[in-house]
A and B are shown apart, each in its own frame.
Chain A
Amino acid sequence: MKVLVAVKRVVDHNVKVRVKADNTGVELANVKMSMNPFCEIGVEEAIRLKEKGIATEVVAVCVGPTAAQEQLRTALALGADRAILVETDAELGSLAVAKILKAVADQEQPQLILLGKQAIDSDNNQTGQMLGALTGFAQGTFASKVEVDGDKVNVTREIDGGFQTVALKLPAIVTTDLRLNEPRYAKLPDIMKAKKKPLDTVTPETLGVAVSSTLKTLKVEAPAQRSAGIKVKDVAELVDKLKNEAKVI
């Protein structure tokens, strides 16, 4: 079974982002970029499926600028067999990315497509579900457990209030939640080996995908800042403040 895993290059999750002074976006110059944490979980799950003998080939795909080769090399170092960069400098919306991934899936014919449930930059939480609609495949979003069973995959999903398990006919789409697995770190010899693994570059145009969007970002602002309040000295003062000042209890 071939597994396709999508990865996104995003601002590292440890970076405190700053809004640009002209309110056109957030500051990305000289900011550390990494693989989206949910995508790391997707790569890890793909590799575990290969280690279990279920996946025969793991293909990592990324839609992004030339520099996104770094994130694909990371996926290769972690154990992906080959990688595809769909190169574009445009900041694409989730629908455009889903259309590109559909075109890649048409060529690659994977049985399972793994994606992160959301990217920590746009926080959209859309691409996997959109890819489901475009391919006509079933979707198991927010997965905390994935079990391939013959021609179907059982996915346990994190939902409001608990867990839900669904059985999906393969080929299917799975989006990862935090507790699906704990991603490994790449070892130095694997990082060296990853440099020799195949990484193909295509473009949205060569895939025949139009990437226009109906959405326009008018401005990006810093959120209203919450200022630190006061320190109370003990429980009695806290209860007094909550009762008489804040009036919330």
Chain B
Amino acid sequence: MAILVIAEHSNSALGAATLNTVTAAKAIGGDIHILVAGENCAAAGEAAAKVEGVTKVLVADNAAYAHQLPENVALLVAEQAKAYSHVLTPATTTGKNLLPRVAALLDTDQISEIISVESPDTFKRPIYAGNAIATVQSSADIKVITVRGTGFDAAAAEGGSAAIENIAAGADAGISAFVGEEIAKSDRPDLTAARVVISGGRGMQSGENFDMLYALADKLGGAVGASRAAVDAGFVPNDLQVGQTGKIVAPDLYIAVGISGAIQHLAGMKDSKVIVAINKDADAPIFQVADYGLVADLFDVIPELDAAL
């Protein structure tokens, strides 16, 4: 039994979520291979070879894979997948975009966003925004799975010495093209990997007020997130959204500021180790999941907290 992990990467570096997926592969058991499909992606391939527990890295280097267009990458992955019992990838926007296309090419069902491995064919996954956990068994010859990063610890990025094999690229499907992208540049840790996350909600009242949260996040070495209400109000960009349809986070410390706590938001953060809620409405549902609640006006509390740290 061998497991193929499709790497999340930037061509020059391996994405952090790949490491959590390798841990999920270890829980299944068997040889673990990583596929790096990209353009000028040798560096990502070398990083993948160092991941502890990986025995082989396949590198497909071609212009058709430069931007992870699923029309092209899925053809390659589906071809490679035939030699494996399991195909895993992180449940990031890249992985979610790609893997169902692979599954359908293989005529198999996909298991989305597993949070635990019960046995090589049985997995747990959240449904209904995490309000229920389903245990799902697969009888497919090739099990196609996306992995929720917060369900598994990261594998060690160093310590392995896997063989690297360059494989031939498949065809360019010729039906899609990359036009451009706008990626927010930030020196802060990635929201899904940060140890501390400070999120603001509608109570922040404006985008400028989020500067207070950024200052606090910098003191704590954390990242800033937001509720859907704050994103919809235009305070912050969409990639900050924590919740059922946004980012799923599970940091050591999650501080919810001016967030009421809709179930869709809770679905994205309730696995955090310690939750702090700051809200002036004592009845806000966020307090029902918070370890420490402070009923107060955030515009008084945040400057005080900033000064105290």
Contact = CB atoms under 8 A, between A and B. Distances in A.
Interface of A: 11, 13, 16-17, 19, 26, 93-95, 98, 117-118, 120-134, 136-139, 141-142, 144, 154, 157-169, 172, 177-179, 213-223, 226, 228-232, 234-236, 238-239, 241-242, 246, 248-249
Contact of B293 (A122, A228, A249): A228
B128 A120 contact: yes
Given A93-B109, A129-B104, A123 B176 contact: no
B110 A235 contact: no
25 contacts: A26-B131, A94-B100, A94-B110, A98-B104, A117-B245, A123-B112, A123-B126, A125-B96, A130-B100, A130-B104, A132-B104, A133-B101, A137-B175, A141-B93, A162-B184, A164-B67, A166-B69, A166-B179, A168-B175, A177-B238, A179-B232, A222-B131, A226-B289, A228-B290, A229-B290
A121 B98 CA distance: 21
Interface of B: 67, 69-71, 74, 92-94, 96-105, 107-113, 122, 126-140, 173-184, 192, 196, 220, 228, 231-232, 237-239, 244-245, 247, 252-253, 263-264, 270, 273-276, 287-296, 301, 304-305, 308-309
Nearest to A20: B132
Contact of A235 (B173, B291, B308): B308
A213 B293 CA distance: 45
B293 A121 contact: no
Contacts of B70: 129, 132, 139, 141
B26 to A, nearest CB: 23
A138 B220 CA distance: 43
A242 B274 contact: yes
A162 B306 CA distance: 28
Report whether over half of chain B's contact residues are helix, strand or loop; otherwise say mixed.
mixed
A230 B293 contact: yes
B103 A158 contact: no
A230 B292 contact: yes
B245 A238 contact: no
Contacts of A117: 245
Contact of A126 (B93, B110, B173, B179): B110
Contacts of A123: 112-113, 126-129, 244
Nearest to A137: B175
B128 to A, nearest CB: 5
A139 B71 contact: yes
A223 B131 contact: yes
Report whether over half of chain A's contact residues are helix, strand or loop; otherwise say mixed.
mixed
A248 B252 contact: yes
Contacts of A249: 196, 220, 253, 309
Nearest to A248: B253
Contacts of B263: 16
Given A159-B94, A246-B291, A223 B179 contact: no
Contact of B178 (A19, A166, A238): A166
B110 A95 contact: yes
B293 A164 contact: no
Contacts of B273: 248
B181 to A, nearest CB: 4
B77 to A, nearest CB: 11
Nearest to B10: A161
Contact of B131 (A16, A131, A162, A165): A16
A122 B127 CA distance: 5
Contacts of B304: 235
A217 B133 CA distance: 10
A130 B103 contact: yes
Contact of B136 (A157, A168, A218, A229): A218
A128 B71 CA distance: 13
B177 A19 contact: no
Contacts of A131: 104
Residue with the greatest number of chain A CB neighbours at <10 A, chosen from B74, B102, B264, B274: B274
B129 to A, nearest CB: 7
Given A124-B112, A139-B71, A167 B177 contact: yes
B177 A216 contact: no
B247 A215 contact: no
Contacts of A222: 131-133
Contacts of A132: 70-71, 101, 104
